Structure 1
Amino acid sequence: MSVVVMFFAILAALAGWWLARQRLFAKPWLEQGVIDDGVPEFRLSHDPAKRVGLGFLLAVIGSLFMLVIGAWFMRRDLGDWQPVPIPGILWINTGALVLSSLVLEWTQRAVRRDSIGAVRTGLAIAAVFALAFIGGQLFAWQQLAASGFVVAGNPANSFFYLVTGLHGLHILGGLVALGWAAIKASRATDTRTVRLNVELCATYWLFMLFVWVVLFSLIAGWAGRFVDFCMELLS
């Protein structure tokens, strides 16, 4: 259960960092800027309600995966657990998800430069890498099933399909939001109308990348060995 506690602590730290980054605790009615004619102008809040909504969504998703991870460790301690071999394509899939997240970070910079063409390109490339990740996960399922590691074959098999399937569904949900941002960008003449969409997509993608790294460490057995090592030190 130590990994669950650690996972929750990291989620809390990420949430605090994200809230500070979004300046949700700022008081915009006390902040003033100056436009060209010298008249004070209150800064826009950039729709903080959507940012808060994303924060709650990520908290719910994080809690869901935390429960799954806890169940994973409790079930693993029973005698019938037989680890699943790691398909090599999972490394490629991880790289695709990393690249998708990096491209969205680059797209955020394009938004700040007000380069709508670069934003459109960035969203398209990020979507391609995300689709490659989903396709790679399905191929990994096919490889395991062809090798006899079916869902009902062993509890470890079931958990593998469960955690990768849940994560894949959340990536598909993110692709819907990414597609909507791409549609808005295709109709926009500047980046003001898509700024928030791109920022929220980038934040969601970074979070799902973190979740996948944790899940991959579970699947590969690194997290279990780390917990066992810590338990030995404490005993």
Structure 2
Amino acid sequence: MRTLDLGEPGGWSSPDPAGGLLWRFQATKVAVRILLAVVTSLFMLFVVTFIGRSQFSDWQSLTGPLGPLGNTSALWVNTAFLVLASISIQVARMASRKHLRSTVAAATVIAGMMAAAFIVGQAILWGRLAEFGFTVSVNPAISFFYLLTGLHAIHIAGGLIAWMRSMERVWQRQAMPVVNAGLELCAIYWHYLLFVWLVLFALLTSKPETYAAIAALCGLR
């Protein structure tokens, strides 16, 4: 409820600033969902292009014995980092509902560390692949690998920016409804990026026969 205050410009003030913040968070949540719809369209476009391109004769499998993803252990480790980040942000979100500030702080810190570890792990993997001669221009398959994983990492980095804002609210000991609202936005975004990564992981490590079946199903052959 807003009250008249002649001492302020405009004559209006809010006795509940947290309520105003929560209203903005609701509007931001709608914006985040719209953003995710756009991002989904972007990734789907690249995935369809990937499948279509895989049907050309010059396509080389990423997962062959001598391929760049012949050993997927690094990808599994990075996936574990991202899963832990998603779990941690969810724990922080649930703890904020119960006003457990210490748990919120610890879980939020862990979430950020795991997300950062994922990006670092991906960068290390890219570097190792380049050292073995699998640079972006070697063949179309590896080019798509760098494109898809790089695009995903950029979105994770964007999620870390939102995470930093949530950490600021936690350390400033802002009202728990405000902290929870921020963590909810982070959780929605991070859970989504985990799902996208799992899809990309499955796609990039699939066999050519799988690509052929998907291409036939989508009418790309």
The two structures share one fold, judged by TM-score above 0.5: yes
- Return the offset for 1:115: 1.2
* Shift in alpha-carbon separation, 1:180–1:54, aligned structure 2, 3 A: same
Q: CA deviation at 1:114?
A: 0.7
Q: Alpha-carbon deviation of 1:189?
A: 4.9
Partner residue of 1:178 out of 141, 160, 163: 163
- Counterpart of 1:228 in structure 2 is 213
CA contact (8 A) 2:54 2:211 kept: no
Correspondence list, 1:46-61, <5 A: 47-61=25-39
Indicate yes or no: 2:42 matched with 1:64: yes
Match for residue 142 of structure 1 among 117, 122, 127: 127
- Alignment check: 8 A CA contact 2:51 2:214 kept: no
1:208 corresponds to which residue?
193
Are residue 218 (structure 1) and residue 203 (structure 2) matched?
Answer: yes
How far off is 1:164 after superposition? 0.3
TM-score, normalised on structure 2? 0.80
Counterpart in the other structure of 1:16: none
Matches within 5 A, 1:90-101: 90-101=75-86
Residue 192 of structure 1: how far off its partner (Å): 2.1
Distance in 1 between residues matched to 2:173 and 2:214, nearest whole Å: 54
Deviations along 1:77-129, one digit per CA (max 9) or x if unpaired, are 11111122324210000011011001111111101111122111111000000
Asked if 1 retains the 8 angstrom alpha-carbon contact of 2:55 and 2:212, the reply is no
> Please, what is the CA RMSD of the aligned residues?
2.2
Residues of 1 paired with 2:208 and 2:108: CA distance? Answer: 33
Aligned residue in 2 for 1:34: none
Which stretches of structure 1, 4 residues or longer, exceed 6 Å deviation after superposition?
none
Q: Report the residue type matching 1:123 in the other structure.
A: T
Number of residue equivalences: 190
Say if 1:124 and 1:75 are closer, same or farther in 2 by CA, change over 3 A.
Answer: same
SS, match of residue 153 in structure 1: coil
196-205 or 46-55, which moves further after superposition? 46-55
The letter of the residue matching 1:157 is: I
Aligned-partner residue type, residue 37 of structure 2: A
Q: Write out per-residue CA displacement over residues 194-221 of structure 1, whole angstroms, 9 at most, x where no aligned residue.
A: 1111001011110000000010011101
Q: What is the letter of the counterpart of residue 48 of structure 2? A: G
Secondary structure of the structure 2 residue equivalent to 1:79:
coil
- Counterpart of 1:173, as a letter, is G
What TM-score does the superposition give when structure 1 sets the normalisation length? 0.75
The answer to whether the 8 A contact 1:107-1:119 is kept is yes
User: Conserved in 2, the CA contact under 8 Å of 1:116 and 1:189?
Assistant: no
CA distance in 1, matches of 2:131, 2:25: 49
Residue 227 of structure 1 deviates from its aligned partner by 6.2
1:196 paired to 2:174: no
- Aligned residue number for residue 3 of structure 2: none
Larger radius of gyration: 2
